[in-house]
Each structure stands twice: as structure tokens, then as C-alpha cells.
Structure 1
Amino acid sequence: MSYELIALFMFAAMMALLLTGQRVFGVIGAVAVIAALPLWGTGGVEIAFAQSIKLMKWYPLLTLPMFIFMGYMLSESRIADDLYRMFHVWFGPVPGGLAIGTILLMVVISAMNGLSVAGMAIGATIALPELLRRGYDKVMITGVVQGGSSLGILIPPSVVLVLYGMIARQPVSQLWLAGVFPGLLMATLFILYIAVRCKLQPHLGPPLSKEERDAITWKERIVLMKAGFLPFMIFFLMNGLFLMGVTSLVESSAVGALASMAAAFIKGRLSREVMENVLRKTLGISCMFMWIILAALCFGAVFDGLGAVRAIENFFLGQLGLEPWQILILMQLSFLLMGTFLDDTAMLVIVAPLYVPLVKVLGFDLVWYGILYTITCQIAYMTPPFGYNLFLMRAMAPPEIKLRHIYASVIPFVAIMLLTLVIVMLYPDLALWLPEQFRGKLRG
């Protein structure tokens, strides 16, 4: 069987199996192992074992369960609730203030978890009912929760960037630092949009009434400020030690996990039930990502053997004669198209073995490209018909939030994400300046 036929079989079989609703890692891993047989004969059965050893030897992978544990500990022990109440009191008097506070809450949760699902769960269960009760517009606040929760895969510690780092063989610490300014830029644009729109249309985000504002004493405000101070201390303890070079990347994740447990204990909320829920959810999410990374490594190894990267490179540069930037734009457009019916991990596993080596050949920085890919994933999370966040919101939102509200709500936030993507493409230093400042200074 020719290499071209093997590659065609891999894509056709993978798409057909994905349409059956099977697990992404099971489909991709199975296709990779089966396709390895005509390529390497009976030795092809060794591919999964070889890649699993490679995976187990990748030390930074230990950060994955640590940060996931930390995020769920903060969520299950209701420390995130305290943080939201703080934002509620301090930003409530401003038009759209509660929505702005929700975005800020999502930024903090993103900086402690790295998963969009955690931000979505907190936003939909804590913020959304309160915003509805306060008379906020259904469509706008649904978009606020969806857009804010997507920040979890861009602002460090991003689990998606850990996955990209493994496949692209790039340092996770550099990728996380590269995501800081683009993530903050996107959050700032979200806040500006909310502030301007609620200023022009005050009925969309009414401020707290004078009676409610007067009912909250300064003593209560200070108490709430102290309650919200604890999560910030965890964040700065974890990241400050890492940026000062005191702890390595993995050690920093362990500091975060232990600090979150200590915070829950100080609050008197570290019960057996909380611990059991946190451990169960951490194990489930960690195992899922481990299987996905293993499947991605198997798939990439087969593609390396097929020489598919060289074929794609020859097609774009030789036959079509395109410039590097034209090829990069086409790659991003293909991600946006795939994002309408595939999730971020499926896109990365399917396309990264082809795109990542090509990006390197074109002379672009792979850390910078990882940020472009992640922003594109954020857009994919929110674009119909199969955006991941759309379905999560439908499952978690109160009954009065209908599917039409959810679909309509994403339009301005997707536009802001596209604007951020263009800005980062035009100004690569926005992503690369911070990693450059700490290059060679960090441990692990």
C-alpha cells in the first residue's frame, strides 16, 4: 500500500469514526496503531508502547493533575463564591459592573485552573443566576459567561498549552508566559465592550440601586475584600516563586495545590466530601488528557513515517508557490472551519503533526504559533453548530436561558476574539516579549 493511500485511509477512517460519537482519543489512537501495520509491518504494534514510554518520561506533565486539583479545590470549597461576592460589592454600583466582575472572576479562576469547563461551571452556577436576578440582559450575560470561561485555555496555567507543548516539543513555561499578555488583552477588550455597551444601553446591565449600595457598610466591604484576598495570595505565591526561580514549573504546581488545600482548611471547608469530589474530578480530567496526548503522539509518529509533512510543505511552497504569511493565514482559517464541528484537542491531534513542522520550516516561532492556535480554539469553543461551550451552557444555564439566547450571545465575543487573534498575528512581541525576558532564568 502506498504512503498516500495510508494517509487517505487514516483521515477517512478517523472522520467516519468521529461521526459515530466515539471518544476522540480512542478513535485517533486506534487509527494510528492500525495504520502503522502496513507502514512498519508487525513492528507497528510497538508504536503505542513506545509513545506511552515517551509520555511517562515527560516530567512537565506532572503539572497537569496539580493545577486541575487546585482549580477544583477552590471551586468545591466555595472559595470562588467568596471571590464573586467581593466583585459583586465593589463593581455593582457601575453600569454593567456585575458583568465586569464576572469577567474578572473568570480571569482569576483561569489563572488557577487552566480549564474552560471550571470557569463555565462557576459562571453558570454562581454568576448567571445573580445577574438574571439583577435584571441583566439574558443574551449579554450568557455571552459574558461563555467568553470569560474560554480564557481558561489561554491564561496560564493552560492545560491546552500543556498538550500543545508536548506535541510541538516546546517548553510549557515559555508557552504559559506567552499566553499572559494576549489573555489579559482579550479580557480587557471584553470589559471595554461590556462597559461601553452598558453605558450606551443602561437597561442591559443596571447598577445596584442606591438602597442596596447604602445597605452595604464599609466594614462589610473590607471583610469581603479579605475573603477575596486568599485566592490572590495563592496565585501570587505559586507564580511569584516560579518567576523568581525559587521553584521549578512542577514544584510551582505542587505549591498551588497545597496552598489551595490550606486555604480550604483555613476556611473550615476541607471536608471529606469536598476532598472526595476534588480527587474524583481531578483523576477523571487528568486521565482524559493523558489518553489524548498518547493518541496524539501515536498519530504524529505515523505521520512522520509517512513523510506527510514534506508532502504538505512541497504542495504549499512548491506547487502553489505561496508566501509564508499566506500559508499561515490558510492554516488559521482551516482551524476556524474545523472548530465548527471538532473540539480543540481533536483539532490539535489531527492537524498538529502536519502544521507544527511546517510552521517551523516557514520560519515562524512555535511558541507564538501555540498562542495563535489557542486563541483559535477559544473561537472554536463558541462557534455554532458544535461549539463546546454552547453545549455546556445549555446544560448548566437556568431554564429561562434558551438555545437562541446562547447562540446570539456569542457573536460580539467571537468578534473580540478574532480581533485579538489579528493583533497577536500582527504584533508577535505581544506574546513573545515576556518569555524572552525570562528565557534561561526559570527552572523547568
Structure 2
Amino acid sequence: MSIEITTLLFFLSLIFFLVLGLPLAFVLGGVSVLFLYFTWGADAFYMVASQMWGTMGSFTLVAIPLFVFMAMLLERTGVARDLYRMMHLWCGGMRGGLAVGTLGICAIFGAMVGISGAAVVAMGTIALPAMLERGYDKRMVLGCINTGGGWGILIPPSIMMILYAMISGVSVGKMFAAGVLPGLLLVALTVIYVLGRCFFQPHLAPALPKEERGSWGEKLRAIRAVILPIGIVAMVLGSIIGGMTTPTEAAAMGVLGALISAAVYRKLNWDIVQEAAIRTFKLTGMIAWILFAAHAFSSAYQGMGAQSLIEGLMMDLPGGRWGIIITMMAVVFLMGMLLDPVGIMLITLPVFLPIVASLGFDPIWFGILFVINMEIGYMTPPFGFNLFYLKGIVPPGITMRDIYWSVIPFVIVNIIGLGIIMVFPEIATYLPNLLF
């Protein structure tokens, strides 16, 4: 059987079982193992097991459950509520101030937890009702929470970056450093969009009345809310960038910071620790199966010789090497509407990374573009994870249609940011080159 027919059958089988609703990790791993057996015979199974065993011995992997555990603990402390109170006092006096404050809190959460859902749930529970009560446009509010929640996978530390580093072989520390400036760029672009739109359409986000703005004494006391979050960010990112710890050791420091935060807010008890640990075990177990599926897929893909076929097709695209990169981004963007980000990584990275290397592009820079696209995938209809996180916590008057429409301008803002980083790759590469 020719390589073209084998590749077509391989990907059609994946799509067929995914459409049936089966778990992606088992579909990807199961189909890959079957194709391996019929391509190389039973001996191929030893190769997958050997690769998996080598991966499970990686010290970097320990960072994943630690960062997840830290996120689960922080989600249940009073950090988000106090941060929102501070932003309420300091930003509420200007048009769109509460929306900008919400974006700021999402950025702080992104720098603490490394996953997407925590900020969406926290701000959807605290900020959404408060802004709706004060006359904010519901689609503006929903869009801010949706896009801000996605920054958790771009602003380091990021579990998605750890997985990218594991698959691509690049340094986790360099990926974390590369995510800082692009993350700040997207935050700045989104804030500029919100303030600009509120300037021309003030009815979308009215300023708070004077009696709600608080005195200077209240504002200054509220600043205490950022001490713990900044301390956690400094413990995690500062120790990595300063060369004092590895990402795994920094994750352990982050857990310590989360435990201290829970104790300060008097939320540290056995029930919270137990619940956070159980949720961490579940998510980490899922990631372990995903890694197995990734190795099986990579082995099957290379064993069939599909890599050379895809490379040949890519090289024939118009526009030269930039046309290839733009096509890759377009493919990932479309897949983000239908699949979860980890699944997209497993399917595309074994195909794309050799091509990126052969074209002479920096894999760190490409990784940041990829992660931004994954962040956009969290917020794009019809199956973006953040859309469903929001739907689970919004008031009854907000429909799924409202949530879908709310994200469109924010997706455009993120795409503009992606384009800027493509044109000016130094935004992603400057810090890694400076610090490492």
C-alpha cells in the first residue's frame, strides 16, 4: 500500500473515532498502535514502550502535577476576591475600568497558575455579576473574561509550554522566558481595545459613581491584595529566570506559596488539600495517557514515512517559507475550533517541527506562536473550553449565543498580536537570548 493511501487511512481513522466522541488520548494512541502493528509488526510495541519509559524518567515532568496542584489551591483561596476589590477601587472611576481591572487580574492569575480555567471560573464568579449590576455590556464583560482566562497558558509558568518543550526538545526555561513579552503585548493590545471602544461607546462600560470609588485610604489598604500574588510570581518566575532553580523546583516553590496564601486567608484545611490533590491526580493521569498517545503517534507517523510526504506537500505551498508558517498557523487555528489544545499539539507538532527546523526558524519563536494559537483555541466557537467554563457559571439571562458573539473582537485582537510577533520575532526571542 502506498504512503499516500496509508496516510489518508490513518488520519481518516483518527477523525472517524473523534467524531464518535471517544477520548482523544485513547483514539490517538489506539489508532497509532494498530497502524504500527500492521506496518512493523509486534516488535514496534517495544519501541513505543521504550520511548515512554525514557520520557517518564524526565525530571521536568514532575513540574506538571506541581503546577496543577498550585492552581487548584489558589482557586479556593480569597486571592481573586481581594484582587478584584483592589481593581474595583483603583480602576472603577474610568470608563471600562472594571473590565481593564478584570484583564489585569487574569494576567496576574496567568502568571501564577499555568492553566486556563482558573481565571475564567474565578472572574466569572466574582467580576461578571459585579460588572453586569453596574450597567456593563454583557458581551464586553464576557469577552474580557474569556480572553483573559486564556493567558494562563501563555504567561509563564505554563503547562502547555512544558508539554511543548517535552515534545520539541527545547528548554522549558527558555520557553517560559519567551512567553513574558508576548503575554504583556497581548494584555496591552486587549486593554487598548477595551479603553478605545469604551471611549467611543461610553454606554458599554460606564464609570462608577463617586461614592463607589473609595477613599485614598481604602485604595492604599487594598494594595495589600497584590502582595501574595506578586510573591508567588517572584518565587516561581524569578527563581527560574534568575537561574536559582529548575522549572520543577520552582513549581515546588509555587506550591509552597499557594499553601502560604491559603493559610493567610484562613482557608488551609484538610478538605481543600484533599480536593485539590484528587483533582491534580485526575488531570495528571490524563496527561500521562496523552504522553503515551504522543509517542505512539510519533512512532507510527515516522514508521509510515508520512513525515516526508507532508514535508513535500508543505514545500510546494506558495509564498516560500513564510507561506508555510502562515499555513501552519491557519491549520492550527481551524483545529482549535474543534479539538482540545493538547490534542492539537500531539497531532501537529510531530509534523510541523521538522519542517520548521528545515526552514531555519527558531523553535522557541514557533512555540510561542503555537501557544498563542492554542490560547485563541480556548476561546473560539464552537468547542473552546473557556466558552463552556463561562456557560456553567453565567446568570440564566446570558445565552450561548451571547458568549459566542462576545469573543469575535477579542479573537481579532489576539490574531493581530500573533501577526506582530510573526513580523517581529525578537519579541519572543529577546529574553531567552538575554537570560540563557
> With structure 1 as the length reference, what TM-score do the two structures score?
0.94
Summarize the alignment of residues 303-382 of structure 1 with structure 2, pairs less than 5 Å apart: 303-317=301-315, 323-382=320-379
Which residue in the other structure is 2:88 paired with? 88
AA aligned to 1:250 is T
Cα distance in structure 2, aligned partners of 1:413 and 1:274: 34
Aligned residue for 1:229, secondary structure, equals helix
Cα distance in structure 2, aligned partners of 1:347 and 1:155: 20
Cα distance in structure 2, aligned partners of 1:232 and 1:217: 24
1:163 positional shift: 1.4
1:105 equivalenced with 2:105 (yes/no): yes
Q: Identify which of 424, 432, 436 aligns with 1:435.
A: 432
1:224 positional shift: 1.9
1:47 positional shift: 4.1
Which residue in the other structure is 1:175 paired with? 175
1:2 positional shift: 4.3
Q: Identify which of 231, 237, 240 aligns with 1:239.
A: 237
1:384 positional shift: 2.1
Which residue in the other structure is 1:272 paired with? 270
Cα distance in structure 1, aligned partners of 2:420 and 2:268: 43
Cα contact 1:76–1:277 (8 A) shared by 2: no
Which residue in the other structure is 2:73 paired with? 73
Greater displacement, 143-152 / 325-334:
325-334
AA aligned to 1:46 is Y
AA aligned to 2:198 is C
Which residue in the other structure is 1:399 paired with? 396
Cα distance in structure 2, aligned partners of 1:220 and 1:122: 23
Cα distance in structure 1, aligned partners of 2:108 and 2:246: 22
AA aligned to 1:114 is G
Which residue in the other structure is 1:199 paired with? 199
Aligned residue for 2:41, secondary structure, equals helix
Cα contact 1:309–1:358 (8 A) shared by 2: no
Q: Identify which of 401, 405, 408 aligns with 1:408.
A: 405
Cα distance in structure 1, aligned partners of 2:19 and 2:333: 19
Cα distance in structure 2, aligned partners of 1:378 and 1:192: 19
Cα distance in structure 1, aligned partners of 2:148 and 2:383: 19
Query: Where do 5+ consecutive residues of structure 1 fail to align?
Result: 440-444
Cα distance in structure 2, aligned partners of 1:241 and 1:161: 17
AA aligned to 1:397 is V
1:316 positional shift: 3.1
1:349 positional shift: 1.0
**Superposed CA offset, 1:89-119 (max 9, x none):** 1111111111101000000111111111111
Which residue in the other structure is 1:229 paired with? 227
Residues 378 and 239 of structure 1: CA distance in aligned 2, closer, same or farther (over 3 Å): closer
1:188 positional shift: 0.7
1:128 equivalenced with 2:166 (yes/no): no
Summarize the alignment of residues 135-154 of structure 1 with structure 2, pairs less than 5 Å apart: 135-154=135-154
- Which consecutive segments of 4 or more residues in structure 1 shift more than 4 A? 319-322
Aligned residue for 1:179, secondary structure, equals helix
1:322 positional shift: 5.6
Cα contact 2:86–2:223 (8 A) shared by 1: yes
**Sequence identity percentage:** 39
Cα contact 2:78–2:265 (8 A) shared by 1: no
**Superposed CA offset, 1:282-329 (max 9, x none):** 222222222212211220122122222222222333x55761111111
**Superposed CA offset, 1:188-240 (max 9, x none):** 11111111111222221112211222xx3333323321133111111112222
Which residue in the other structure is 1:442 paired with? none
Q: Identify which of 414, 419, 424 aligns with 1:422.
A: 419
How many residues were matched structurally? Answer: 436
AA aligned to 1:86 is M
Query: Where do 5+ consecutive residues of structure 2 fail to align?
Result: none
Residues 316 and 222 of structure 1: CA distance in aligned 2, closer, same or farther (over 3 Å): closer
Cα contact 1:241–1:252 (8 A) shared by 2: yes
